[in-house]
Amino acid sequence: MSANSVAYPVEPQGRSPEPVRRKPVVASGVLGMLVFIFTEIMFFAGLISAHTIVRAQNAGGMWPPYGQPRLPVEETAVNTAALLVSGIVLFLSWLAFRREPASARIPLLLSIVLGAFFVYAQGLEWVALLREGLTLQSSNYGGFFYLIVGTHALHAVGAIIALGWAWHRLTQGRLTSSQLATVAAFWYFVVLVWPVLYVQVYL
């Protein structure tokens, strides 16, 4: 699995054999990112579980609690669509990169723009909700909303910065396929975890 792993073929004549360098099964960056993503999945699973229990224990089964503003389900559905499309475009950019690296520039940039739109629109939503009185301390409802959605937004910003770095290297002709795969794996995580959070928090 490691890039440095070698195999020594047996030579019947007793000569010292030439080591055969094996290709790594998975690039080290991708493997490291997968381990990181596993820990992140468990982190979000913990948040979702805590939210599920608090929601179930809420008095009278009323959620959102009385006096708390409703979350903008429809507007966020549009943001969700933008994020999902961003993931699809990134996949297209990966396919384009395998054919001809320079042809991946535009789809990769489009993916970054769609991701940035998602974060910007979520920011606007936060401002509107804060004005309506939903804060981190107003209730468990507000606390969980800002904690879960805010944590996801932080991940999205980190992934967009990583995608921007990849795009910069691509324009310089220095981006390798394993670097793109590593960054893309993180963005796919950000994209795929969001529908779960949306259903859990907004609906």
Partner 1 sequence: MSAVRLLAVGLVVAVGVLALPDAAHACAMCFSGPEESRRAFFVTAAFLTLLPLGMVAGATAWLRGKARAAEASQDSEQADSAS
CB of 92 to partner 1, least distance (A): 23
Residue closer to partner 1 by CB (options 63, 120) is 63
Would you say 96 or 147 has its CB closer to partner 1? 147
In whole angstroms, the minimum distance from the beta carbon of 154 to partner 1 comes to 22
Interface with partner 1, residue 181, by CB under 8 A: no
Cis omega before residue 195 (within 30°)? Answer: no
Alpha carbon distance 146, 143 (integer Å): 6
Q: How far is the CB of 109 from partner 1 (least distance, A)?
A: 30
* 4 is an interface residue for partner 1 by CB under 8 A: no
Q: CB under 8 A: which stretch of 47-55, 77-85, 122-130, 158-166 binds partner 1? A: 47-55
> What is the DSSP secondary structure assignment for residue 4, as one 8-state letter?
T
Neighbours of 106 (CB within 10 A): 13
A 10 A CB-CB count for 75 gives 14
- 3 state DSSP class of 20: strand
User: Is residue 46 close enough to count as binding partner 1 by CB under 8 A?
Assistant: yes
34 belongs to the binding site for partner 1 (CB under 8 A): yes
Judged by CB under 8 A, does residue 6 bind partner 1?
Answer: no
Pick between residue 57 and residue 137 the one whose CB is nearest to partner 1.
57
Packing angle, helices 105-131 and 140-171, rounded to 10: 160
Is residue 61 a contact point for partner 1 (CB under 8 A)? yes
Q: Is 21 in the site for partner 1 (CB under 8 A)?
A: no
Q: How far is CA 56 from the centre of its chain?
A: 28
Give the one residue of 25, 62, 127, 203 binding partner 1; rule: CB under 8 A: 25
Could you write out the three-class secondary structure of 93-147? HHHHHHHCHHHHHHHHHHHHHHHHHHHHHHHHHHHHHHHCCCCCCCCHHHHHHHH
Name the residues that contact partner 1, by CB under 8 A.
1, 22-23, 25-26, 34, 38, 41-42, 45-46, 48-49, 52-53, 55-57, 61
